[in-house]
Amino acid sequence: MNMTIAWITARGLFGRKRFLLLLPMPIILIGVTAVGLAFDAPAADLAETVLLGLGVATVLPLVSLIVGTGVLGSEIDDGTVVHILAKPIPRGRIIMAKLAVAASVSAVATAVPMFAAGAMIGGTRLGAGFALACVAGALAYSALFLALSVLTRRPVLLGLLYVVIWEGLISNLVAGTRTVSVQHYVIRFAAELSGSEWFRTTVSTAVAAVMTAVVTVAGTWLAARRLRSFSVAGETS
Amino acid sequence: MTDLELSGVSRWYGNVVAVNDVTMTLGPGVTGLLGPNGAGKTTLLHMMAGFLAPSRGAVTIDGSPTWRNPAIYRKLGLVNEREAVYGFLSGKEFVRASAKLHGLPDADAATRRAIALVEMTDAQDRRMDTYSKGMRQRMRVAAALVHDPAVLLLDEPFNGMDPRQRMHMMELLHSLGAQGRTVLFSSHILEEVEQVSGTVQVIVAGRLAASGDYRTIRRLMTHRPHVFAIRSSDDRRLAVALMASPSVAGVTLGKDGLTVHAGDYGTFTRALPRIALDEGVRVRQLIPSDESLESVFSYLVSA
């Protein structure tokens, strides 16, 4: 991994206003958990509503989308990516550095509040299970959204469509589509690692593990391949 | 000695041809890339810099293709047309990051040298989003020069610079060319090109309209009469004598001297001393008045 690119990427990410959008989400997650516990909501209901509905289905994909499309997409939009591309660095190494930053930031921003919320609801094993599942999910989502930011001009829109329409709607109605839903891989990992009976998905642990690896590797490979043929359009002259 | 070579290069977007069958070789020295807006200069520069694939033909640096070949950037420095920089970095951090991305053994020394070259040492610790347009441009040039490239491509490098900065950049390009680097810059301001470089590549409607020293290009335009401004000890007498010469197409007598339209550059310049001598007229001034780059350019564009 190229540390200079990772350093520039992290500085750029933390310096953008878009990054501030990440702050309220973990706070909301922990706040809603605290409110639910204060009103004696049943742990199973709270786990489903907060950990799955809010954490896995909303906070994790949204944080990953904001960060994953921001690490390279913003540089492509404003043209600064040329400074990195006009260097003798294999494109795969550029993508790996971007992915490392995106996945790390998304993982920390989601795993920490998920651990806190899970521990508050059902103990540290539940919290740790969700935190580790979010780390795996952050990696797969980041690779997916990073690839979208190089392959398309509308990565945020397409990412939102994937999260809201595909994962939020279709994969909950049609069981067969869950094998291509990162959300269901995360649910399977969380269920497995926490040992909890509260969470169910039709995706097996083996499929979830293989598909997480496939999404991560395919996203990284596609992004690197596209970046090798990155063109700058002639604008005015 | 590093050559940038384009052979039969074309680029089209759908049915629109942006660059049409351009062949040129750029060697050491400074070359100006000229052309009206929309002529294809930037498209050509992007292909040279490896940021656009030619639809046909090849762009190579010392035989290696520039497209899909990141290793080429060891020899190539680029200052492109978009002025975007990492505003959250200081100028020094920006140039140093470039040095490190090039894998230079002593990134700090290379950074100091490059920043000194563009005279930005005093402002190097400020964030780049506090820089003026000209300062950002100079830091971008420093970042492009930090690895001491043999080929330097600059798209409109004088944009946003004040006259002093512009003069300094011109001197810098001159010295880089004199050191044996291949420097190509585009500009829409003819005076800039005229001051920096005698050698031009003129692009009109996607085609290479002319190539070489612009004064030589002008002399090769035999279908256009050459215009000379002459002052002498007796303008009227000289005008009469010149009209008798077959090399002269027309003479205008004004209060500031004669304006002579000559059909052929060589024949006229050889005939004038003889005619003046025969008439006993002393020629005080002889200036080819349409050999400026502006005249050459307007002739090429309107051709």
Please state the domain extents for chain A. 3-228
Task: Write the CATH number for B270.
Answer: 3.30.70.100
Cβ neighbours for B209, distance < 8 A, ≥ 6 positions apart: B35, B202, B203, B300, B301, B303
**What mean pLDDT value characterizes chain A?**
92
Q: Is A234 on the interface with B (CB under 8 A)?
A: yes
Q: Is A5 on the interface with B (CB under 8 A)?
A: yes
Helices (H), B184-234: 190-196, 214-220
According to DSSP, the β-strands at B248-254 and B257-262 are antiparallel
Task: Please indicate whether residue A134 or residue B302 has the higher confidence score (pLDDT).
Answer: A134
Q: Does the beta-carbon distance from B37 to A235 stay under 8 Å?
A: no
Q: Does the beta-carbon distance from A237 to B37 stay under 8 Å?
A: yes
Cβ neighbours for B74, distance < 8 A, ≥ 6 positions apart: A88, B102, B147, B149
Q: What is the spatial distance between Cα B289 and Cα B45, in angstroms, rounded to a whole number?
A: 32
Q: Is A230 on the interface with B (CB under 8 A)?
A: yes
Cβ neighbours for A3, distance < 8 A, ≥ 6 positions apart: A97
pLDDT of residue B211: 86
Whether residue B254 is predicted with pLDDT greater than 60 in this model: the reply is yes
Give the Å distances, CA to CA, from A228 to A86, B140, B141: 12, 23, 24
pLDDT of residue A235: 46
pLDDT of residue B300: 73
Q: Does the beta-carbon distance from B53 to A231 stay under 8 Å?
A: yes
pLDDT in tens, B160-188: 788 888 888 889 999 999 999 999 998 77
Whether residue A59 is predicted with pLDDT greater than 70 in this model: the reply is yes
Task: Looking at the structure, tell me whether residues B180 and B256 fall in a common domain.
Answer: no
Task: Write the CATH number for B131.
Answer: 3.40.50.300
What is the enclosing helix (H) or strand (E) of A146? helix A124-151
- How many CB pairs lie under 8 A apart between chains A and B? 93
Q: Can you give the residue range of the structural domain that contains B61?
A: 4-214
What is the enclosing helix (H) or strand (E) of B57? strand B56-61
Of A89, A235, A236, the CB nearest to B101: A89
Least confident residue range of A52-61, B56-65, B119-128, B281-290: B281-290
Task: Looking at the structure, tell me whether residues B277 and B205 fall in a common domain.
Answer: no
Task: Looking at the structure, tell me whether residues B227 and B274 fall in a common domain.
Answer: yes
Task: Looking at the structure, tell me whether residues B20 and B121 fall in a common domain.
Answer: yes
Task: Looking at the structure, tell me whether residues B155 and B257 fall in a common domain.
Answer: no
HSE of A158 in the Cβ direction (CA atoms, 13 Å)? 16
Q: Total structural domains in chain B?
A: 2
User: What are φ and ψ of residue B63, in 5° steps?
Assistant: 90, -15
Among the three residues B214, B247, B275, which one is the final residue of a domain in this structure? Answer: B214
pLDDT of residue A55: 95
Percent of chain A with pLDDT over 90: 78
Among the three residues B197, B214, B231, which one is the final residue of a domain in this structure? Answer: B214
pLDDT of residue B2: 84
pLDDT of residue A233: 67
Percent of chain A with pLDDT over 70: 98
Task: Looking at the structure, tell me whether residues B115 and B240 fall in a common domain.
Answer: no
pLDDT of residue B303: 63
Quick one: closest CA in A to B67, which residue? A229
Q: What is the spatial distance between Cα A177 and Cα B140, in angstroms, rounded to a whole number?
A: 49
The residue among A5, A7, A16, A237 with the most chain B CBs within 10 A of its CB, best to mutate, is A237
Q: Is A42 on the interface with B (CB under 8 A)?
A: no
| A196 band by pLDDT with thresholds 50, 70 and 90 | confident
Q: What is the spatial distance between Cα B122 and Cα B132, in angstroms, rounded to a whole number?
A: 14
Task: Please indicate whether residue B11 or residue B133 has the higher confidence score (pLDDT).
Answer: B11
Output the 3-class SS for B237-287.
HHHHHHHCCCCEEEEEEECCEEEEEECCHHHHHHHHHHHHHHHCCCEEEEE
Predicted ipTM of the assembly: 0.88
pLDDT in tens, A140-161: 999 999 999 999 999 999 999 9
Give the Å distances, CA to CA, from A151 to A73, A219, B244: 10, 10, 72
Of A4, A78, A232, the CB nearest to B97: A4
Percent of chain B with pLDDT over 70: 95
Task: Answer whether A131's CB lies under 8 Å from A112's CB.
Answer: yes
pLDDT of residue A9: 95
Q: Is B102 on the interface with A (CB under 8 A)?
A: yes
**Backbone dihedral region for residue B6 (phi beyond 0: left; psi -120 to 50: alpha; all else: beta):** beta
Task: Looking at the structure, tell me whether residues B207 and B235 fall in a common domain.
Answer: no
pLDDT in tens, B189-242: 777 777 888 788 888 889 998 888 877 777 776 667 788 999 999 999 999 999
Q: Does the beta-carbon distance from B101 to A234 stay under 8 Å?
A: no
Q: Is B91 on the interface with A (CB under 8 A)?
A: no
Which chain A residues are Cβ-neighbours of B104 within 8 angstroms? none
Task: Looking at the structure, tell me whether residues B109 and B32 fall in a common domain.
Answer: yes
Q: Which of A38, A36, A65, A60 is nearest to A48 (CA)?
A: A36
Among the three residues B191, B214, B237, which one is the final residue of a domain in this structure? Answer: B214
Least confident residue range of A87-96, B26-35, B85-94, B287-296: B287-296
Tokens matching residue B71: 């290793």
Nearest chain A Cα distance for residue B139, angstroms: 12
**What mean pLDDT value characterizes chain B?**
89
Least confident residue range of A68-72, A132-136, B99-103, B293-297: B293-297
pLDDT of residue B232: 93
Q: What is the spatial distance between Cα B205 and Cα B19, in angstroms, rounded to a whole number?
A: 8
Nearest-10 crossing angle of helices A91-122, A3-15: 50
Of A4, A7, A80, the CB nearest to B85: A80
Quick one: closest CA in A to B12, which residue? A234
Q: What is the spatial distance between Cα A213 and Cα B266, in angstroms, rounded to a whole number?
A: 75
Task: Looking at the structure, tell me whether residues B117 and B170 fall in a common domain.
Answer: yes
Q: Which of B154, B209, B201 is nearest to B34 (CA)?
A: B201
Task: Looking at the structure, tell me whether residues B177 and B241 fall in a common domain.
Answer: no
pLDDT of residue A236: 40
| A162 band by pLDDT with thresholds 50, 70 and 90 | very high
Average confidence (pLDDT) over B135-144: 93
Least confident residue range of B9-18, B126-135, B197-206: B197-206
Strand ranges across the sheet with B4-13:
B16-26, B4-13, B56-61, B64-65
